[in-house]
Amino acid sequence: MHTTTITGSQRWRRSRAPLPHGHWPARNFRAVTTSPSAVLFDLDGTLVDTIGLILGSMTHAFAGRERAPTDAWWLSQLGRPLPFMLGAWAEDDADAAHLIARYREHQGAEHDNLIRAYPDALEVVHELHARGHALGVVTSKGVRMATKALDWAGMTRYMSVIVGLESTLVHKPDPAPVRFALDALKADAAHAWMIGDSPFDLQAGRGAGTRTCGALWGPFDRATLEGERPDALAHGMRDLLEIVA
């Protein structure tokens, strides 16, 4: 298959069309002439804005405790499984279970009140699906809550696979969840994309052999995502229509 290598001093062109504003391919990006067989998305911070819900649930879980994470620490771990994040602050396994229950109590009660849609997210997912891309979600959240968020956003019908906490024994940044999704879709990793807002998403995708795209609208800054050397960076959801075309 013919490929074109684009260096940092060149601009990526598709059918000689100019690169859209806000799309920043990483150095040595390889623009492939055939459409990818699959597009995998992270959920929180990528498809839906749940940052307020996540921080509110964390605050609820640790209410009244002297030892508690800061908002900055919590967001720095976004993309890792909840048991891992809470376990870092728990006294023991029983305490971790208590914190998880408290977190999920607030998460369930306030879900629809605090979740927000990212601009153009639903429209872009619809368009990618209409173009024939197989779509999936790879998240460290449980499948039930992930589906609830996708239902709220109107995206569930477009997703052929939802990989969550209980789907694999190990989780992002390990590539196992991405490989699980690719296997479910019978998709070739080399022609697939993993799109996410955290370094853990990009590490997982790269480890599984996919191309990776950093979502700059999430809580992680550009420098953090660039440090993972993704194949592309997107400023907004609409950039994805060019990146994965």
Q: Is the pLDDT of residue 147 over 90?
A: yes
Cβ pair 82, 100 in contact under 8 A = yes
How many Å apart are CA 19 and CA 11, to the nearest integer?
A: 7
For residue 19, what pLDDT band results from cuts at 50, 70 and 90? very low
Taking the C-alpha atoms of residue 178 and residue 163, their distance in angstroms, rounded to an integer, is 8
Task: Quickly name the fold that domain 3-8+26-48+116-243 has.
Answer: Rossmann fold (3.40.50)
User: Choosing from 42, 44, 197, 201, which is the catalytic residue?
Assistant: 42
Residue 42 appears among annotated catalytic residues: yes
Nearest to 133 by CA among 236, 244, 44: 244
pLDDT of residue 18: 33
pLDDT at 38 over 60: yes
How far is CA 229 from each of CA 3, 8, 175, 204, 225, rounded to the nearest angstrom?
A: 19, 12, 16, 13, 7
Range name among 16-25, 139-148, 151-160 with the lowest pLDDT average: 16-25
Domain boundaries, the chain: 3-8+26-48+116-243, 51-114
In angstroms, rounded to a whole number, what is the distance separating the alpha carbons of residues 19 and 243?
10
Domains 3-8+26-48+116-243 and 51-114 in one fold:
no
In CATH, what class is 51-114? mainly alpha
Q: What are 168-192's pLDDT values in tens digits?
A: 999 999 999 999 999 999 999 999 9
Q: What gap in Å lies between CA 122 and CA 167, rounded to an integer? A: 25
Structure tokens at 131: 């173009």
Per cent of the chain over pLDDT 70 is 85
pLDDT band at 88 (very low <50, low <70, confident <90, very high): very high
Residue 169: count of CB within 10 angstroms of its CB: 8
**Which residues, 6+ apart, have CB-to-CB distance to 109 below 8 Å?**
none
What is the model's pLDDT at position 66? 93
Query: According to the model, what pLDDT value does residue 13 have?
Result: 30
